[in-house]
Amino acid sequence: MSAPILVTGGAGYIGSVLTRMLLKGNRPVRVLDRMLHGRHGLEDLAHDSNLSVLTHDLRDPRVHEEALEGVHTVVHLAAIVGDKACALDEELAVQTNWSATVAFARRAQAIGVHRFVFASTCSVYGEGREETLTEESPVQPLSLYAETRWHAEQGILELVNDPVFEPVILRFGTVYGLSPRMRFDLAVNFLAQQAVREGAVRIFGGSQWRPFVHVSDIARGIVMAIDEPLPRDVPPILNLGDNLENYQLRDLKEELEAHVPGVRVTIQPEKEDRRTYRVSFDRIEREWGFRARHRVGDGIEEVARAVRSGVIADPRERRYYNA
């Protein structure tokens, strides 16, 4: 049997989609996850002989050895995710998202791991004003969450000059779409469920730019980061998304009206939100030919269908929110 791919945070929103994609491709997976949001993301995979699950906390350095044994490839998704979740316990966020992440990457390097894929975020760009942001643009993290991801990037980039260890940093856009570990604290998912349940939604603000990306496109991009050669002559950082999926938040009105018939959408005056970033995804298209296969409208439709049909009985349940 080939070496397992270690997926930290593999029971999470993105991790549970990625784990299934890898297993479907006949690739053994080892998940390391402390199950902060429960185990249901992996529930139906319990009997898959290609999957093993370690329920441990990444912050404990003693678990690194066991998790990394015989592993050549790591996808590091485990984190305290989102501005609100990080604000709840700042110390936990700093430890998990920054110090333990860098310590874990160092351990992976020492043990002889080859490819180390790190999940960062386009929110490191913060306040991007009007220009389209590339991997070379200055960052301006505006929350503790974005700050911890940025510091982790820096710690991981210190490890690049190694003949074996190949870290790659993916900056994800804001994710949407259905996952076995569903999150409704993400903008598109939240608005779609509210549109179905209440028939009316309010969008706060409107002019801020956000790059959105479907969760299965994210998983496909991660698989490319596992398999494809890294860009030459530039730091191994790639924005993961698609130029066509940059939206101003007010554009979601049209998308919701098109995909949830009858919904009433109002735009409320701007709230205090300086975060705005329109992102270029030219590098990932040039290097790996990555283009998104889904659009925000597809995500709204699939979430709306799941709520309408009762597949998701009550999107207000606590477990769907990180904070």
Ligand X SMILES: NC(=O)c1ccc[n+]([C@@H]2O[C@H](COP(=O)([O-])OP(=O)(O)OC[C@H]3O[C@@H](n4cnc5c(N)ncnc54)[C@H](O)[C@@H]3O)[C@@H](O)[C@H]2O)c1
- What are the residues binding ligand X (CB under 6 A)? 8-9, 11-15, 32-37, 57-59, 77-81, 96, 119, 121, 149, 172, 174-175, 181, 183, 186, 322
Smallest gap from residue 77 Cβ to ligand X (A) = 4
Q: Between 143 and 174, name the residue whose CB sits nearer to ligand X.
A: 174
Q: Between 81 and 225, name the residue whose CB sits nearer to ligand X.
A: 81
Smallest gap from residue 8 Cβ to ligand X (A) = 6
The residue whose Cβ lies closest to ligand X is 12
Q: Between 198 and 273, name the residue whose CB sits nearer to ligand X.
A: 273
Smallest gap from residue 244 Cβ to ligand X (A) = 18
CA torsion, ordered 103, 105, 108, 114, to nearest 10 deg: -170
For residue 149, give both structure tokens: 């991801």
Smallest gap from residue 302 Cβ to ligand X (A) = 16
d(CA 302, CA 244): 19
Smallest gap from residue 184 Cβ to ligand X (A) = 11
Beta strands at 51-54 and 73-76: parallel, antiparallel or unpaired: unpaired
d(CA 305, CA 252): 18
Q: Return the SS3 of 179.
A: coil
Q: Which helix H or strand E contains 305, and what residues bound it?
A: helix 296-308
Q: Between 91 and 233, name the residue whose CB sits nearer to ligand X.
A: 91
Determine contact, residues 192/307, Cβ cutoff 8 Å. yes
Q: Between 96 and 216, name the residue whose CB sits nearer to ligand X.
A: 96
Residue 109 contacts by C-beta under 8 Å, 6 or more apart in sequence? 116, 159, 162, 164, 165
